[in-house]
C-alpha cells in the first residue's frame, strides 16, 4: 500500500484542507460569540407569603390570576394575630415565569431544562438564633399548566417532603437586630425537560414543637426567616437553537466521512489495524453525541434527556481519551509488538474506570431525579463531601491524564528524532519524502495535544459550572457560548481530519529518477512499504531503523 493520505497528499492539497478546517473552526467560535446568547440564564424570584388558616395539601396557592391567594408582606401584618396564623399556615408561592415589563411570559421547549436553588433571608434576632447544625424540612409542591388552560387549573408534577441542611453565618459586628445572616444556596429541584408553559411552586416550612405528640420537633433552629428566594436556572432557547443547528450539520458530515473511510479500508488486501478500528470507534461515539435528539423535546416530554446527554458525552470522552492513548502508543516506534488492544489494557482500564465512576455518580444524582426531581445528593454533609470528592478527583485525573499523554507524545518525538539519523544515507527523493512525513506527523501530534488541552480545560470548567451553585462558592468564571461551540466544533473538525488524513492512500511512493543508483537499503524500504500489515510508511521507516 502507499501509506495514509497524510503521507502522500501534496503540499498544496494538504494546505487547502487545513485552511478549510481552520476556517470551519473559526466559524464555530464566531457562531457562539456573535449569534448565540449566553448558554443559560438565571431568574431570582421572591416568594409570595400566602396564608390559609385551613391549609390543604391538595390546594394550589397562586400569585397571579383571578384565584390568587391571600398574602401578607411581612409578619407584622395584623392578619397574623387576628386569624392565629402560624408557620404551618404560611405558604411561599412562586409562579414562573414572572412578567417582564408588563408582558406575561411563558417557557419555551427550546429552553430544555430547569434547575431551582433555594435561598433564605434570615434576620438576626438574639431570642431566635440559627442553629449551626440546623436541618430545614420543606413541604414542596410543584405543578404546571399550559397556554389555553384555565388560570386555576394546575396539574401536579411532583410533590415531596425534603430535608436540606441550612448553613448560615454572621460576622460579630453584624450581630444586630435587622441584619441578615449570610446563608448558602441549597438545591431544590431539577427538571430534565421544560415541556410546559407555566409552573407553580408552593413551599411550606412546617413547624412541630416538642409539645406535640409527635416523634420529634422539626424546623427548629432556623432563626427568623423573613423571606424565601428561589433562583430558577434554564438553558437559553437561542443557545439551544444554535447548538442543535451545529449538531444537525456535523451529524451527517461525520457519518459520510466514516462511510468513505471504511470503504477505503475494506478495499485493502490486509485486515484493518488497531488504529483504524479506534478511528471508527471515535467516529461512532462522536456520531452518537452529534445525533440531534433535542428535536424530540419539541414534541414530547423527555425528562430523561439530561441523563441521556450525560451518557452520550461520557461515551465520547471515553472513546476520545482511549484513542489518544492508542494513537500515541502506536507511534512510539519501540521494540514492543503493538497493534493489539491487550497491550493497552492498563491505560484503557484507568480511563474506563474513571468514566464508570462518573457514570455511577451521575446516576446517583440525575438518575434518581427521574423519579423525584426534588432529590439531591448535596442535601447531606456526607453527600456533599462525596460529590465534591468526585468532582475534585475527576479534575485531578483529567490533569494527570493530560500530563501522561504529553509525556507519551514527547517520547514519540524523541524516538522519531533518534531514528532520523538514517535519513542522510538515503537518496534525496526518499529523504525528502520521509522528512515531509515526519513534519506532517509532528504537526498532527501537536494538534492532538492542543485538542487534549482544550478538552481537559472544558471538562474541568464544565464540572465547576455545574457544581458551583451547589457548593455555593464565590467562583468568578465567565462562560461564553463561543467557548462551548468552539470546543464542540473542534471535536468534530479534529475527528474529521483524523479520519480523512489516516484513510488509506491509493498513491505509491515516489521513486528516484535514477533507478540505477538504488541501493539494497532502498529496496528493503520499498519492501516494507508494501508490507500488508503496515498502516503507514512512517512506521515502516522506523521499523527498519530500529533493526539497524
CA distance 321 to 328: 11
Q: What pLDDT, on the 0 to 100 scale, is given for residue 379? A: 73
Architecture of domain 5-39+238-509: Up-down Bundle (1.20)
Short-list 27, 93, 17, 35, CA closest to 59: 93
Q: Is the pLDDT of residue 142 over 70?
A: yes
For residue 514, what pLDDT band results from cuts at 50, 70 and 90?
A: very low
The pLDDT tens digits for 165-180 are 888 888 877 788 878 8
Look up cell 505509491; give the residue.
Answer: 508
The pLDDT tens digits for 244-284 are 999 999 999 999 999 999 998 888 888 888 888 889 999 99
Query: SS3 string of 237-251?
Result: HHHHHHHHHHHHHHH
The whole-model pTM stands at 0.81
Sheet holding 48-51, edge to edge: 71-72, 48-51, 90-96, 198-204, 135-145, 155-165
Q: Say which residues have a Cβ less than 8 Å from residue 427's Cβ, sequence separation at least 6.
A: 512, 517, 518, 522
Q: What pLDDT, on the 0 to 100 scale, is given for residue 527? A: 43
Domain borders along the chain are: 5-39+238-509, 41-235
Q: Say which residues have a Cβ less than 8 Å from residue 23's Cβ, sequence separation at least 6.
A: none
Short-list 349, 343, 331, 313, CA closest to 498: 331
CA distance 124 to 335: 72
For residue 512, what pLDDT band results from cuts at 50, 70 and 90?
A: very low
Average pLDDT over residues 378-394: 76
Q: Is the pLDDT of residue 50 over 60?
A: yes
* Cβ contact 325:405 at 8 Å: yes
Average pLDDT, the chain: 79
User: Which of residues 429 and 141 earns the better pLDDT score?
Assistant: 141
The pLDDT tens digits for 440-456 are 777 777 787 788 777 77
Q: What pLDDT, on the 0 to 100 scale, is given for residue 532? A: 39
H helix or E strand, kind and range, residue 111: none
CA distance 228 to 177: 19
Average pLDDT over residues 179-202: 90
C-alpha radius of gyration, the chain, whole number: 31
For residue 518, what pLDDT band results from cuts at 50, 70 and 90?
A: very low
For residue 526, what pLDDT band results from cuts at 50, 70 and 90?
A: very low
Average pLDDT over residues 25-34: 86
pLDDT-wise least confident of 11-15, 57-61, 117-121, 323-327: 11-15
The share of the chain scoring above pLDDT 90, in percent, equals 21
Average pLDDT over residues 289-309: 91
- Three cell numbers at 276? 483504524
User: Which of residues 384 and 476 earns the better pLDDT score?
Assistant: 384
User: Which of residues 221 and 250 earns the better pLDDT score?
Assistant: 250
Which of the four CATH numbers 1.10.357, 2.60.120, 2.40.320, 1.20.120 does domain 41-235 have?
2.60.120
Q: Say which residues have a Cβ less than 8 Å from residue 94's Cβ, sequence separation at least 6.
A: 45, 47, 48, 63, 200, 201, 202, 203, 230
CA distance 433 to 451: 27
Look up cell 530500529; give the residue.
Answer: 546
Amino acid at each position: 500500500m502507499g501509506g495514509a493520505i497524510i503521507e502522500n497528499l501534496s503540499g498544496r492539497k494538504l494546505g487547502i484542507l487545513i485552511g478549510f478546517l481552520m476556517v470551519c473552526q473559526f466559524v464555530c467560535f464566531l457562531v457562539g460569540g456573535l449569534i448565540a446568547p449566553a448558554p443559560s440564564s438565571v431568574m431570582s424570584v421572591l416568594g409570595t407569603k400566602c396564608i390559609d388558616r385551613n391549609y390543604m395539601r391538595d390546594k394550589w396557592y397562586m400569585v397571579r390570576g383571578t384565584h390568587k391567594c391571600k398574602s401578607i408582606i411581612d409578619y407584622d401584618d395584623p392578619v397574623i394575630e387576628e386569624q392565629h396564623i402560624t408557620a404551618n399556615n404560611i405558604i411561599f408561592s412562586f409562579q414562573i415565569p414572572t412578567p417582564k415589563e408588563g408582558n406575561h411570559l411563558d417557557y419555551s421547549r427550546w429552553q430544555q431544562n430547569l434547575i431551582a436553588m433555594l435561598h433564605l433571608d434570615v434576620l438576626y434576632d438574639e431570642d431566635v438564633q440559627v442553629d449551626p447544625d440546623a436541618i430545614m424540612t420543606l413541604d414542596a409542591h410543584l405543578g404546571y399548566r399550559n397556554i389555553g388552560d384555565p388560570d386555576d387549573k394546575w396539574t401536579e408534577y411532583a410533590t415531596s417532603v425534603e430535608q436540606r441542611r441550612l448553613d448560615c453565618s454572621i460576622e460579630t459586628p453584624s450581630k444586630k437586630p435587622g441584619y441578615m445572616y449570610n446563608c448558602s444556596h441549597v438545591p431544590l429541584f431539577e427538571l430534565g425537560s421544560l415541556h410546559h408553559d407555566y409552573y407553580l411552586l408552593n413551599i411550606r416550612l412546617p413547624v412541630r414543637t416538642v409539645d406535640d405528640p409527635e416523634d420529634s420537633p422539626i424546623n427548629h433552629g432556623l432563626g427568623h426567616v423573613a423571606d424565601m428566594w428561589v433562583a430558577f436556572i434554564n438553558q437559553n432557547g437561542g443557545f439551544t437553537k444554535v447548538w442543535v443547528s451545529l449538531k444537525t450539520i456535523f451529524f451527517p458530515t461525520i457519518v459520510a466521512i466514516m462511510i468513505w473511510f471504511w470503504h477505503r479500508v475494506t478495499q485493502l488486501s490486509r485486515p484493518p489495524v488497531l488504529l483504524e478500528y479506534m478511528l471508527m470507534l471515535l467516529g461512532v461515539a462522536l456520531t452518537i453525541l452529534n445525533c440531534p435528539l433535542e428535536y424530540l423535546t419539541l414534541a414530547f416530554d423527555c425528562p430523561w434527556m439530561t441523563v441521556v446527554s450525560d451518557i452520550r458525552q461520557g461515551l465520547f470522552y471515553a472513546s476520545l481519551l482511549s484513542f489518544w492513548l492508542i494513537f500515541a502508543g502506536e507511534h512510539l516506534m519501540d521494540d514492543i509488538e503493538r497493534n493489539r488492544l491487550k497491550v493497552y489494557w492498563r491505560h484503557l482500564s484507568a480511563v474506563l474506570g474513571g468514566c464508570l465512576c462518573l457514570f455511577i455518580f451521575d446516576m446517583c444524582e440525575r438518575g434518581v431525579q427521574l423519579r423525584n426531581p426534588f432529590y439531591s445528593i448535596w442535601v447531606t454533609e456526607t453527600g456533599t463531601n462525596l460529590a465534591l470528592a468526585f468532582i475534585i478527583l475527576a479534575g485531578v485525573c483529567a490533569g494527570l491524564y493530560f500530563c501522561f499523554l504529553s509525556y507519551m507524545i514527547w517520547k514519540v518525538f524523541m524516538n522519531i528524532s533518534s531514528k532520523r539519523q538514517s535519513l542522510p544515507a538515503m537518496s534525496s527523493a526518499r529523504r525528502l519524502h520521509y522528512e515531509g512525513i515526519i513534519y506532517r506527523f509532528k504537526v498532527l501530534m501537536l494538534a492532538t495535544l492542543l485538542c487534549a488541552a482544550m478538552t481537559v480545560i472544558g471538562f474541568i470548567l464544565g464540572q465547576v459550572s455545574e457544581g458551583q451553585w451547589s457548593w455555593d462558592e464565590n467562583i468568578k468564571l465567565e462562560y461564553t457560548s463561543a467557548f462551548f461551540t468552539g470546543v464542540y466544533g473542534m471535536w468534530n473538525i479534529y475527528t474529521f481530519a483524523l479520519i480523512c488524513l489516516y484513510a488509506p492512500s491509493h498513491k505509491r511512493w515516489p521513486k528516484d529518477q535514477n533507478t540505477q543508483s538504488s541501493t539494497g537499503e532502498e529496496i528493503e524500504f520499498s519492501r516494507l512499504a508494501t508490507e500488508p500489515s503496515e498502516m503507514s510508511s512512517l512506521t515502516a521507516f522506523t521499523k527498519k531503523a530500529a533493526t539497524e
